[in-house]
Structure 1
Amino acid sequence: MKIITNNPLVLKWFKEKFTVEYIECDYMGILIKCRDYIHKNYKLLTHPLSGSVKPNETPYKSILLIENDILDLDSLLLIEKAIDTTKKFNNNFKTPNWNENILNDFQIIDFDLLNNAVQNINFVR
């Protein structure tokens, strides 16, 4: 499994357990990077728009992928829709310049979503 993230908290907690690709970019950058991996036969294990925080509200996003044998069309459609949705949100309202406390809260939300997904995936396997 591979984690694509721009969240330093996710990097800190998961770098010893998984391959973590940490990228200093915005939410959209994470989606585009995941789309690149999907074109290289990776499959989404977490939804690119998971959680109730809108893509233009938080700067942080972490997505879990797994290598696949073939191009997963469901993952490709899902990431493309997520990119379109994020563009629409960003056109209507840009992500604010949050203070450090709020940024820390968003890191924890993103970490918690990913951690719950990892726990569920490991439980099923």
Structure 2
Amino acid sequence: MSCRFILLTNNPRYKDRTDLPVQFVGGAGKDVITAGRDLIHQGWALQNHPLYGNFRPHQQPFRTLLMKKDEKAGFDEYGLNLIEEAALVYTNDPYPLTPEQTPSRMAADCSEIDFELMKETLLKNNLIH
């Protein structure tokens, strides 16, 4: 098959999901954005908006990106522009929320929100049913 996926995330909700192609990224949302940008430069395509749910870095410690590698597709310039804009949002936020500094009850809620917001993207790409 010439098409494959990687789910980049720092959300612990995905850690034990053996049914999904999860690549866990330690650190904050900015680290997930950086890992996604690096994959785009390696020929992967972004499948969801990097700032989905309109959450800013000081509001949501978790970030999840679905990346697709399709040997027939060209370079994802649009995805690169989106992810570079998202990286600027993270850079310009003076108080980004990290998983380590998030109170456990809030972290559980943020984890669930991130998970729910990704469902449509995962369904659309036939990764969940």
TM-score by length of 2: 0.83
Query: What value does the CA root-mean-square deviation take over the aligned residues?
Result: 1.8
> 2:8·2:24 contact (CA, 8 Å) conserved in 1?
yes
**Aligned counterpart in structure 1 of residue 55 of structure 2, from 44, 47, 53:** 53
2:118 is aligned with 1:114: yes
**In the alignment, what sits opposite 2:84?**
80
Cα drift, residue 49 of structure 1: 0.3
1:68 to 67, 70, 95: 70
Q: Separation in 2 of the partners of 1:81 and 1:52? A: 13
Percent of aligned positions that are identical:
24
Cα drift, residue 23 of structure 1: 1.5
Does the aligned pair in 2 maintain the 1:10–1:62 contact within 8 Å? Answer: no
> May I ask how many residue pairs the two structures share in their alignment?
119
Paired residue type of 1:63: L
Provide the rounded CA distance (Å) in 1 between the counterparts of 2:70 and 2:87: 21
Residues 40 and 76 in structure 2, CA contact (< 8 A), matched pair in contact too: yes
Moved more, 96-105 or 78-87: 96-105
Stretches of structure 2 lacking an aligned partner (at least 5 in a row): none
- Shift of residue 56 of structure 1? 2.0
Counterpart residue number, 1:33:
35
State the alpha-carbon separation in 1 of the partners of residues 57 and 14 from structure 2. 18
How much does 1:17 deviate? Answer: 2.3
Q: 1:49–1:55: 8 Å Cα contact kept in structure 2?
A: no
Conserved? CA contact 2:57–2:96, under 8 Å: no
Return the structure number with greater helix share.
Answer: 1
Deviations 1:43-88 (A, max 9, x none): 0001100003212222111110100333211111111111011211
Q: Secondary structure of the residue that 2:45 maps to in structure 1? A: strand
| Preserved contact between residue 8 and residue 25 of structure 2 (Cα < 8 Å) | yes
Of residues 23, 26, 29, the one that matches 1:24 is 26
Contact 2:64 2:114 (C-alpha < 8 Å) held by counterparts: yes
